[in-house]
Chain A
């Protein structure tokens, strides 16, 4: 990568560069990868970024145990393998894992419910970091609490590692409906709305004014096909995280490229039909309805 480092008298780690980075990812697909080889496949397929992790969510589910930040050697291997941005996951509340990931030079940290939470009350105080954070949310209140802590990007949680898009749909619809509701309220009603959302009033008022979150909204958790990705964008997601859906499928190379095309041409059924042909087996899914409460990742985070 670049051997030129800058010490231009200027400011790093500002809200504008953190949120602005997420704006650059819009309309794109961020892919989970566990090896440098997978990272290169993702880059070749047209991913806007890769998420470096030790096990994809489907394997975390299958194997159980405590899921932690990835080994630094493994993260470094992926950082060195590709020229696109590299994200990595830290456990909810584990601010030292986040410090380590920042020191490794990752471009974005996902404070993720897919890993085993390290703090059952507090999320990471994200504003203190130079590196930006993305956090999961199931509804508007949760999204705004994360933004208040400094998240520069939100993704709907969905239910990771299931290959089942139903929870992603539920969460994006909930976030978008929450936003639409705020835009219909009288300004004098926003105080109670903030109380009900358990979110700071200033952020609630900002969303009511903008008609959108003040940061980029992606979707995650169960996207397995090009049609899944296109549906989520039509529902209002500005981009897509695909976790287990690519490298747990029969033909990752083809499927990755197809999901990238479908995300760009989300409103063009002819393109989606064309790229959906001949992809081989999708990942085997899990019916979320039979998933016990204790095995649902989306309930992690507060």
Chain B
């Protein structure tokens, strides 16, 4: 039978606690990840909201950046909210020239795209794959996806105003990212969508492993 997925929350900096609190109610075990050996023990990873420049520097200095890139390349399911979206982007705008990312999402993300903190806002966003009406979305100095590659599925856009149509939720394979912070609102549906992806991935892997065993026996 399928075991409980272990979902790590990258705990270098940011709103780690809110993600840790959201996951257990969805049948996942939540653990913090700050070191390569902790990353090796998880079935999936959440990159929380926070300051992306800080997270990137800490990841690089603590030797976690390489293992993170390898894990994403190896198919590890990852969900990033806000700064997490920045961390997963292949290309950045309005970032310091030396800002590194984990990458994996074929998107160009603009940091602080909606403006400064006085422009931070709450709104409603319809997210594909999330049933039950729009998600109440909290945007804090949020990024948006300026351009998405062909393999990227757009899950949600801003409706209305001068940012009308801007992409704020995407998925590419096992990677999911949102500009907003579902972890701050108590609405667990985006996390549920991600945990679903994690479960499917684990089931596929179990199938492949079983196949390999049969092949070698």
Q: Roughly how many angstroms separate A169 CA and B185 CA in the complex, as a whole number?
A: 32
**What mask results when residues 136 to 161 of chain B are scored 1 for a CB within 8 Å of chain A, else 0?**
00111100000000000000001111
Decide if A28 touches B50 in the complex (CB within 8 Å). yes
Q: Roughly how many angstroms separate A8 CA and B123 CA in the complex, as a whole number?
A: 8
Q: Roughly how many angstroms separate A52 CA and B5 CA in the complex, as a whole number?
A: 44
Q: Roughly how many angstroms separate A131 CA and B117 CA in the complex, as a whole number?
A: 7
Q: Roughly how many angstroms separate A201 CA and B34 CA in the complex, as a whole number?
A: 39
Q: Which of B159-178 contact A (CB under 8 A)?
A: 159-164
Residue B91 lies at the interface, judged by CB distance under 8 Å to chain A: no
Q: Roughly how many angstroms separate A10 CA and B14 CA in the complex, as a whole number?
A: 25
Decide if A131 touches B141 in the complex (CB within 8 Å). no
Given A8-B162, A28-B13, A85-B141: A23 touches B111 (CB 8 Å cut-off): no
A residues neighboring B (CB under 8 Å):
1-2, 4-14, 16-17, 20-21, 23-28, 43-49, 83-85, 102, 105-108, 130-132, 257, 260-261, 264-265, 271
| CB neighbours of A26 from chain B (8 A) | 13-17, 50
Decide if A130 touches B54 in the complex (CB within 8 Å). no
Residue on A nearest B111 in the bound complex, by CB: A83
Q: Roughly how many angstroms separate A14 CA and B136 CA in the complex, as a whole number?
A: 13
Decide if B140 touches A21 in the complex (CB within 8 Å). yes
| CB neighbours of A102 from chain B (8 A) | 118
Q: Which of B34-52 contact A (CB under 8 A)?
A: 34, 49-51
The 10 closest A-B pairs by CB, nearest first: A8-B161, A10-B123, A107-B117, A46-B57, A17-B120, A6-B163, A27-B13, A48-B51, A23-B15, A10-B121
Decide if B53 touches A83 in the complex (CB within 8 Å). yes
Given A20-B184, A107-B141: A83 touches B112 (CB 8 Å cut-off): yes
Could you list 13 A-B pairs, sorted by A, with CB under 8 Å? A1-B112, A4-B163, A8-B121, A16-B138, A20-B138, A24-B50, A47-B54, A83-B94, A83-B96, A83-B111, A106-B117, A260-B54, A260-B58
**What mask results when residues 47 to 68 of chain B are scored 1 for a CB within 8 Å of chain A, else 0?**
0011101100110011000000
Residue on A nearest B112 in the bound complex, by CB: A2
| CB neighbours of B116 from chain A (8 A) | 1, 105-107
Give the Cβ gap from B53 to chain A, nearest Cβ, in Å. Answer: 6
Q: Roughly how many angstroms separate A23 CA and B110 CA in the complex, as a whole number?
A: 21
Residue B191 lies at the interface, judged by CB distance under 8 Å to chain A: no
Give the Cβ gap from A261 to chain B, nearest Cβ, in Å. Answer: 7
| CB neighbours of A28 from chain B (8 A) | 13-14, 50-51, 54
| CB neighbours of B122 from chain A (8 A) | 10-11, 14, 16-17
Give the Cβ gap from B49 to chain A, nearest Cβ, in Å. Answer: 5
Decide if B50 touches A7 in the complex (CB within 8 Å). no
Give the Cβ gap from A88 to chain B, nearest Cβ, in Å. Answer: 12
Decide if A9 touches B161 in the complex (CB within 8 Å). yes
| CB neighbours of A10 from chain B (8 A) | 121-123, 160-161
| CB neighbours of A2 from chain B (8 A) | 94, 110, 112-115
Q: Please tell me which one of the listed residues B34, B58, B181 contacts residue A46 in the complex, with CB atoms under 8 A apart.
A: B58
Give the Cβ gap from A219 to chain B, nearest Cβ, in Å. Answer: 16
Decide if A12 touches B120 in the complex (CB within 8 Å). yes
Decide if A85 touches B16 in the complex (CB within 8 Å). no
Decide if B51 touches A24 in the complex (CB within 8 Å). yes
Q: Roughly how many angstroms separate A106 CA and B123 CA in the complex, as a whole number?
A: 22
Q: Roughly how many angstroms separate A235 CA and B144 CA in the complex, as a whole number?
A: 37
| CB neighbours of B117 from chain A (8 A) | 17, 21, 85, 106-108, 131-132
Q: Roughly how many angstroms separate A21 CA and B49 CA in the complex, as a whole number?
A: 10
| CB neighbours of A257 from chain B (8 A) | 57, 61
Decide if B115 touches A6 in the complex (CB within 8 Å). yes
Give the Cβ gap from B60 to chain A, nearest Cβ, in Å. Answer: 10
Give the Cβ gap from B145 to chain A, nearest Cβ, in Å. Answer: 13
Residue B119 lies at the interface, judged by CB distance under 8 Å to chain A: yes
Residue B195 lies at the interface, judged by CB distance under 8 Å to chain A: no
| CB neighbours of B62 from chain A (8 A) | 261, 264-265, 271
Q: Please tell me which one of the listed residues B50, B158, B163 contacts residue A27 in the complex, with CB atoms under 8 A apart.
A: B50
| CB neighbours of A85 from chain B (8 A) | 51, 117, 141
| CB neighbours of A1 from chain B (8 A) | 94, 112, 115-116
Give the Cβ gap from A257 to chain B, nearest Cβ, in Å. Answer: 7
Given A4-B162, A8-B158, A48-B51: A23 touches B18 (CB 8 Å cut-off): yes
Q: Roughly how many angstroms separate A8 CA and B166 CA in the complex, as a whole number?
A: 11
Q: Roughly how many angstroms separate A24 CA and B117 CA in the complex, as a whole number?
A: 12
Decide if A260 touches B57 in the complex (CB within 8 Å). yes
| CB neighbours of A130 from chain B (8 A) | 118
Residue B23 lies at the interface, judged by CB distance under 8 Å to chain A: no
Q: Roughly how many angstroms separate A260 CA and B15 CA in the complex, as a whole number?
A: 16
Having A8-B160, A265-B34, one finds 5 other A-B pairs with CB under 8 Å, namely A20-B184, A24-B140, A107-B117, A108-B117, A130-B118
